[in-house]
Amino acid sequence: MSQPLEPALFDRLFAAAEAARENAYAPYSGFRVGAAVLTPDGRIFAGANIENAAYPQGQCAEASAIGAMGTAGARRIVAAVVIGGEEGDGMLCTPCGGCRQRLREFAAPDTRVHICGPEGLRRIMTVEELLPASFGPENLDA
Protein backbone atom coordinates (compact mmCIF):
# COMPACT_ATOMS: atom_id res chain seq x y z
CA MET A 1 0.00 0.00 0.00
CA SER A 2 1.07 3.58 -0.53
CA GLN A 3 1.99 5.63 2.51
CA PRO A 4 -0.87 7.52 4.12
CA LEU A 5 -0.83 11.12 3.03
CA GLU A 6 0.52 13.41 5.76
CA PRO A 7 -2.33 15.50 7.21
CA ALA A 8 -0.54 18.75 6.28
CA LEU A 9 -0.20 17.59 2.68
CA PHE A 10 -3.82 16.47 2.54
CA ASP A 11 -4.83 19.91 3.83
CA ARG A 12 -2.86 21.61 1.05
CA LEU A 13 -4.39 19.39 -1.61
CA PHE A 14 -7.86 19.90 -0.15
CA ALA A 15 -7.38 23.68 -0.08
CA ALA A 16 -6.26 23.71 -3.71
CA ALA A 17 -9.28 21.64 -4.79
CA GLU A 18 -11.56 23.83 -2.70
CA ALA A 19 -10.24 27.01 -4.34
CA ALA A 20 -10.60 25.48 -7.81
CA ARG A 21 -14.16 24.44 -7.00
CA GLU A 22 -14.97 28.10 -6.31
CA ASN A 23 -14.33 28.67 -10.01
CA ALA A 24 -16.37 25.72 -11.24
CA TYR A 25 -18.53 26.61 -14.23
CA ALA A 26 -21.56 24.41 -13.75
CA PRO A 27 -24.63 26.40 -14.84
CA TYR A 28 -26.35 23.33 -16.30
CA SER A 29 -25.94 20.72 -13.57
CA GLY A 30 -25.40 23.08 -10.64
CA PHE A 31 -22.96 20.42 -9.41
CA ARG A 32 -19.64 22.05 -8.60
CA VAL A 33 -16.52 19.92 -8.39
CA GLY A 34 -12.89 20.71 -7.56
CA ALA A 35 -9.94 18.36 -7.92
CA ALA A 36 -6.25 18.51 -7.11
CA VAL A 37 -3.35 16.21 -7.91
CA LEU A 38 0.01 15.96 -6.17
CA THR A 39 3.22 15.18 -8.10
CA PRO A 40 6.29 13.41 -6.61
CA ASP A 41 8.19 16.70 -6.28
CA GLY A 42 5.40 18.20 -4.19
CA ARG A 43 3.71 20.31 -6.82
CA ILE A 44 -0.07 20.58 -6.73
CA PHE A 45 -2.29 21.15 -9.75
CA ALA A 46 -5.97 21.90 -9.38
CA GLY A 47 -8.98 22.09 -11.66
CA ALA A 48 -12.74 22.60 -11.71
CA ASN A 49 -15.53 21.24 -13.85
CA ILE A 50 -16.18 23.46 -16.84
CA GLU A 51 -19.53 22.75 -18.47
CA ASN A 52 -20.73 23.76 -21.92
CA ALA A 53 -24.06 24.60 -23.56
CA ALA A 54 -23.24 21.72 -25.89
CA TYR A 55 -23.46 19.37 -22.91
CA PRO A 56 -21.03 16.61 -23.98
CA GLN A 57 -18.26 19.19 -24.31
CA GLY A 58 -18.23 19.78 -20.56
CA GLN A 59 -15.02 18.89 -18.76
CA CYS A 60 -14.69 17.23 -15.36
CA ALA A 61 -12.62 18.75 -12.55
CA GLU A 62 -10.19 15.83 -12.63
CA ALA A 63 -9.60 16.34 -16.36
CA SER A 64 -8.92 20.04 -15.75
CA ALA A 65 -6.42 19.27 -12.97
CA ILE A 66 -4.65 16.59 -14.99
CA GLY A 67 -4.54 18.92 -18.00
CA ALA A 68 -2.87 21.61 -15.88
CA MET A 69 -0.39 19.06 -14.57
CA GLY A 70 0.53 17.76 -18.00
CA THR A 71 0.82 21.26 -19.39
CA ALA A 72 3.40 22.04 -16.69
CA GLY A 73 5.39 19.02 -17.82
CA ALA A 74 4.57 16.79 -14.85
CA ARG A 75 3.83 13.15 -15.57
CA ARG A 76 3.17 11.42 -12.26
CA ILE A 77 0.37 11.63 -9.71
CA VAL A 78 1.08 10.43 -6.15
CA ALA A 79 -2.23 11.48 -4.58
CA ALA A 80 -5.48 13.13 -5.62
CA VAL A 81 -8.39 14.92 -3.96
CA VAL A 82 -11.87 15.36 -5.41
CA ILE A 83 -14.49 17.58 -3.74
CA GLY A 84 -18.13 17.46 -4.78
CA GLY A 85 -21.65 17.46 -3.41
CA GLU A 86 -23.22 19.36 -0.56
CA GLU A 87 -22.11 19.47 3.05
CA GLY A 88 -23.23 16.34 4.85
CA ASP A 89 -25.16 14.81 1.92
CA GLY A 90 -23.30 11.54 2.49
CA MET A 91 -22.79 10.92 -1.23
CA LEU A 92 -19.46 10.01 -2.77
CA CYS A 93 -18.29 12.21 -5.62
CA THR A 94 -16.24 9.45 -7.19
CA PRO A 95 -14.49 10.17 -10.49
CA CYS A 96 -16.46 9.23 -13.61
CA GLY A 97 -15.25 6.34 -15.75
CA GLY A 98 -13.32 8.56 -18.13
CA CYS A 99 -11.55 10.34 -15.28
CA ARG A 100 -10.64 7.04 -13.64
CA GLN A 101 -8.80 6.21 -16.85
CA ARG A 102 -7.17 9.67 -16.92
CA LEU A 103 -5.93 9.23 -13.35
CA ARG A 104 -4.71 5.73 -14.10
CA GLU A 105 -2.49 7.01 -16.91
CA PHE A 106 -0.29 8.96 -14.49
CA ALA A 107 -0.80 7.15 -11.16
CA ALA A 108 0.21 3.81 -9.62
CA PRO A 109 -2.39 1.16 -8.73
CA ASP A 110 -2.04 2.05 -5.02
CA THR A 111 -2.27 5.81 -5.53
CA ARG A 112 -4.94 7.16 -3.23
CA VAL A 113 -7.88 9.22 -4.40
CA HIS A 114 -9.37 11.18 -1.51
CA ILE A 115 -13.08 11.52 -2.14
CA CYS A 116 -14.38 14.53 -0.25
CA GLY A 117 -17.40 16.66 0.44
CA PRO A 118 -17.13 20.36 1.21
CA GLU A 119 -16.73 19.51 4.91
CA GLY A 120 -13.77 17.16 4.36
CA LEU A 121 -12.70 13.60 3.63
CA ARG A 122 -15.41 11.00 3.07
CA ARG A 123 -13.52 8.03 1.69
CA ILE A 124 -10.15 7.00 0.28
CA MET A 125 -10.04 4.68 -2.73
CA THR A 126 -7.00 3.54 -4.68
CA VAL A 127 -6.76 3.86 -8.43
CA GLU A 128 -6.89 0.05 -8.64
CA GLU A 129 -10.12 -0.01 -6.65
CA LEU A 130 -11.62 2.64 -8.89
CA LEU A 131 -10.51 0.95 -12.10
CA PRO A 132 -9.64 -2.72 -11.66
CA ALA A 133 -7.92 -4.73 -14.40
CA SER A 134 -7.31 -1.53 -16.29
CA PHE A 135 -5.63 -0.93 -19.61
CA GLY A 136 -2.65 1.39 -19.42
CA PRO A 137 0.62 2.51 -20.96
CA GLU A 138 2.32 -0.82 -20.11
CA ASN A 139 -0.10 -2.61 -22.42
CA LEU A 140 1.47 -0.75 -25.32
CA ASP A 141 5.04 -1.64 -24.31
CA ALA A 142 4.91 -5.30 -25.34
Give contact residues for ligand THU (rule: CB under 6 A): 26, 29, 31, 33, 49, 51, 58, 60-62, 82, 84, 93, 95-96, 99
Q: What is the closest distance, in whole angstroms, from the C-beta atom of residue 51 to ligand THU in the complex?
A: 5
Q: Side chain identity at 105, as an amino acid letter?
A: E
Nearer to ligand THU, 27 or 73 (CB): 27
Nearer to ligand THU, 51 or 79 (CB): 51
Question: CB within 8 A of 97, min separation 6: which ones?
Answer: none
Nearer to ligand THU, 33 or 69 (CB): 33
Q: What is the closest distance, in whole angstroms, from the C-beta atom of residue 52 to ligand THU in the complex?
A: 9
DSSP letters for 40-107: TTS-EEEEE-B--SSGGG-B-HHHHHHHHHHHTT----SEEEEE-S-TT-----PPPHHHHHHHHHHS
SS3 call for 133: coil
Residues tagged active-site: 62
Distance in angstroms (rounded) separating the CA atoms of residues 31 and 101:
21
Q: What is the closest distance, in whole angstroms, from the C-beta atom of residue 31 to ligand THU in the complex?
A: 4
Distance in angstroms (rounded) separating the CA atoms of residues 101 and 106:
9
Q: What is the closest distance, in whole angstroms, from the C-beta atom of residue 92 to ligand THU in the complex?
A: 9
Nearer to ligand THU, 49 or 111 (CB): 49
